[in-house]
Amino acid sequence: MHTFRRSAALLALSVGTLASLPAVAADELHYNQISLRAEVSQEVARDLMIVTLYTEAQNTDSAKLAAEVSTTMNKALAQAKQVKDITLRQGSRNSYPIYDAKGQKITGWRERSELRLESTDFAALSKLTGELLTDLKMGGMDFAIATPTRKASEDTLLKEAVTAFKARAQLATDALGGKGYKIVNMNLNSSGFPQPYMRAPMMMKAASMDGAPVTPEVEAGTSQVTMTADGAIEVLMP
């Protein structure tokens, strides 16, 4: 009877020891791990010009008002389609009633329609904008980074960020007296790519005496974009 109890106790101890082995192995994976962060950045030109133009009118007859706005926008669209490398997008179009002084009776209607133009050819879009301003009004202008430029910049920065991370990893390994290292994990994130937003109407060049269309002044500028590499390494000790 005592022999059975002793054997059962030894068996329980053996099972407990085996069960703890995975936990010990898991703990050992965290030995000599260091968290690192590397960051690289560059100035990228805003090479996409975005212009928003609009027409706005009012009339007591909503049908006539809609026809008037459509005629103006259709003329602008036809003119814009003649210029190469210009992307056209219909913006919002809204119509709302106009009330009398008491705010009870509808006395007319007002309608507004927008046209959005995008291009990497600043000269062509600036010239077109000046011509369209004879019939339309300026809603705003902005400059962003075109998609191909953004992708190329991200690819370049990604390589530089990984190289910078590896350099820091080697520096940390040398400081600890390690014989090498292995990367446990790494996350790459980019930031600084601007989202387009409409600025207030820009300054115009002075019109000539013959009333020629004015051309918007263009100053795109650059944006500083950044790529960060966050991760952890395990230093291999001698």
Question: What pLDDT digit, counting tens, does each position of 24-75 carry?
Answer: 555 555 678 999 999 999 999 899 999 999 999 999 999 999 999 999 999 9
Residue 10: what pLDDT?
A: 42
Residue 148, token pair as written in the block: 């191909």
Read off the pLDDT of each residue in 174-195 and give the average, rounded to a whole number: 88
Class of domain 49-145+198-204+215-221: alpha beta
What's the CA gap between 157 and 162, in Å, rounded? 9
Alpha-carbon distance of 131 to 78, in angstroms, equals 13
User: What does the domain layout of the chain look like in residue ranges?
Assistant: 49-145+198-204+215-221
What per-residue confidence (pLDDT) applies to 25?
Answer: 52
pLDDT in tens, 85-123: 999 988 899 999 999 888 889 999 999 999 999 999 999
Considering the entire predicted model, what is its pTM?
A: 0.69
User: Looking at the DSSP assignment, which residues form a beta bridge with residue 138?
Assistant: 53
pLDDT at 11 over 80: no
Which ranges constitute the DSSP H helices of the chain? 2-28, 62-80, 122-132, 147-176
CB atoms within 10 A of CB 160: 17
**What contacts 41, CB < 8 A, 6 or more positions away?**
157, 192, 224, 225, 226, 227
- State the pLDDT at residue 95: 93
Quote the pLDDT of residue 176.
93
136 pLDDT more than 50:
yes
The count of residues in the chain is 238
Cα torsion 157, 47, 218, 118 to 10°: value is -140
- Across 20-24, average pLDDT: 51
Residue 141 bridge partners (DSSP): 51
Produce one character per residue of 125-153: b if its CB has 16 or more CB atoms within 10 Å, e if not.
bbebbbbbbeebebbbbbbbbbeebbeeb
Determine which helix (DSSP H) or strand (DSSP E) holds 133, and give its type and residue range. Answer: none
